[in-house]
Amino acid sequence: MKTFLIEKYGARGDGTGVRAAERPDPQVGADDVLVKIHAASVNPLDLRLRDGAFKAFMPYKLPLILGNDLAGEVVQVGSAVTRFAVGDEVYARPDKDRIGTFAELIAVHQDDVAIKPTTLTMVEAASLPLVALTAWQALVERAHLQPGQKVLVHAGAGGLGSIAVQLAKHLGAHVATTASAAKADLVKELGADLVIDYKQQDFATILDHDYDVVLDSLGGDNLAKSLQVLKPGGLAISVAGPPDPAFARELGANPVLRLAMTALSLKTRRHAKRRGVTYTFLFMKASGDQLRSLTPLIDAGRIRPVVDRAFPFDETLQALEYVETGRAKAGKVVVTMV
């Protein structure tokens, strides 16, 4: 089958990046469904994996096929599969140990797959699993967001932000977000109550310091400033900040790696503690059950995908570069195999 993979870790342009390659078709286990991939989306995670950002705690065997979410059609089921049949249209975020959606086929455990929303095209459905699951796990599982609470979602026009704004609004929260002035109308349509132009305004000085939750996708100074807008007892959730001890325990990391992760996040956690708030790092998990919880919201129009552009599969390298150079205007970039 045709794939796009890495053979060595390394950034774009140094000769060790992503390339097209033929690979054997996947082996299908008893609990697996074999999916003919129609579309897969490009995520910043793909670029970070390419660069080796996670190799210390996710030691993939190379060569590694990139790609972290998909929509497609089931073409084979394992002997123990009970939820799916050949011909089902599905979408999924494979488990972190079984990624590889920049390919014509993938075998995915049935627990990580859900029937595709009927109202969406394959391209639209492929844009959702990773970001929709991240938003769900941040706002529902971690934050237990309640009606009337206040949440700040950074980069509200981005892939994660555009879904998180909609989910937070569905949950009844007051939603503030950061976005450029050109994207203000879009994020308001998605449900944002307050839009801060990050190019002209400082969210930390504009917002009242009474927010219950911040969802940060930028890290660094943005995360540090986000702690300032939380009220005592508030929660900052970051997908881009330093890993914390809870994540190390969740991974089952060895003592040396646990110590390293504890040290990496020490400054942020101390800053949070001084302000009477909590910092937590989120690395999302695959979950077919959570996708099934999201599907009715998608089919009802409560959450809608935002797709910036679709590239043909042969132009996957161009799609990755398009994302990396920041040319996407809003939402997700997708590659189409069919």
Among 64-73, 130-139, 244-253, 266-275, which is the least confidently predicted range?
A: 244-253
The CA distance from 331 to 70, in Å, is: 16
Helix-then-strand count for the chain, H and E: 11, 16
Identify whether residues 229 and 315 lie together within a single domain: no
Count of residues for the chain? 338
Identify whether 217 is part of a domain: yes
Quick one: 134 and 277 in the same domain?
Answer: yes
- In 143-287, the DSSP E strands lie at 150-153, 174-179, 194-197, 211-216, 230-238, 278-281
87 is a domain residue:
yes
Q: With cut-offs at 50, 70 and 90, classify the pLDDT of residue 254.
A: confident
Distance CA 25, CA 37 (A): 12
Asked whether residue 288 is assigned to any structural domain, the reply reads: no
Mean pLDDT of all residues in 148-169: 98
For residue 15, pLDDT beyond 50: no
Average pLDDT over residues 86-114: 98
pLDDT for residue 260 is more than 60:
yes
User: Which burial class, exposed, middle or buried, applies to 135 when counting CB atoms under 10 A from its CB (0-12, 13-18, 19+)?
Assistant: buried
Report d(CA 116, CA 113) in Å as an integer: 9
Tens of pLDDT along 167-213?
A: 999 999 999 999 999 999 999 999 999 999 999 999 999 999 999 99
Do the beta carbons of residue 160 and residue 239 sit within 8 Å?
Answer: yes
Arithmetic mean of pLDDT, 215-231: 96
Rounded distance, CA 109 to CA 98, Å? 9
Predicted confidence band of residue 53 (pLDDT cuts 50, 70, 90) = confident
Least confident of 22-26, 109-113, 251-255: 251-255
Clarify whether residues 63 and 124 are in a common domain: yes
Amino acid 25: pLDDT: 98
Classify residue 296: in a domain, yes or no. Answer: no
178/60 same-domain check = no
Say if residue 249 is in the same domain as residue 309: no
115 and 174 share a domain? no
**171/103 same-domain check:** no
Amino acid 170: pLDDT: 98
> Given pLDDT bands bounded at 50, 70 and 90, which one contains residue 12?
low
Q: Quote the number of domains for the chain.
A: 2
Q: To the nearest whole number, what is the mean pLDDT of the chain?
A: 95
- 270 with 135, same domain: the answer is yes
Same domain, 52 and 93: yes
Do residue 159 and residue 181 come from a single domain? Answer: yes
Beta strand pairing call for 278-281 and 230-238? parallel
With 80 as the cut, is the pLDDT of residue 307 above it? Answer: yes
Instruction: Provide the percentage of residues in the chain whose pLDDT is more than 70.
Output: 98
Distances 288 to 34, 90, 95, 149, 278 between C-alpha atoms, Å:
15, 10, 10, 28, 29
Question: What is the C-alpha radius of gyration for the chain, rounded to an integer number of angstroms?
Answer: 20
In a shared domain, residues 149 and 215: yes
Asked if pLDDT for residue 247 goes beyond 50, the answer is: yes
Q: Which helix (H) or strand (E) holds 148?
A: none
pLDDT surpassing 80 at residue 125: yes
pLDDT of residue 261: 86
Q: Taking each helix axis as running N to C, give the angle between helix 129-136 and helix 159-170, from 0 to 180 degrees, rounded to the nearest 10.
A: 50
Q: Is the residue at 291 inside a domain?
A: no
Find the domain containing 85 and state its range.
2-128+305-336
Question: pTM value?
Answer: 0.96
Contact between 326 and 28 (Cβ < 8 Å): no
Residues 124, 49, single domain; the answer is yes
Asked if residue 113 is part of any domain, the answer here is yes
Q: Residue 18: its pLDDT value, please?
A: 93
Strand partners, 196: 178
Classify residue 290: in a domain, yes or no.
no
Q: Does some domain include residue 299? A: no
The CATH code of the domain that includes 72 is: 3.90.180.10
Least confident range from 174-178, 225-229, 252-256, 295-299: namely: 252-256
Range list of β-strands (E), the chain: 2-6, 19-22, 32-42, 64-65, 70-77, 89-92, 105-109, 113-115, 150-153, 174-179, 194-197, 211-216, 230-238, 278-281, 307-312, 332-336
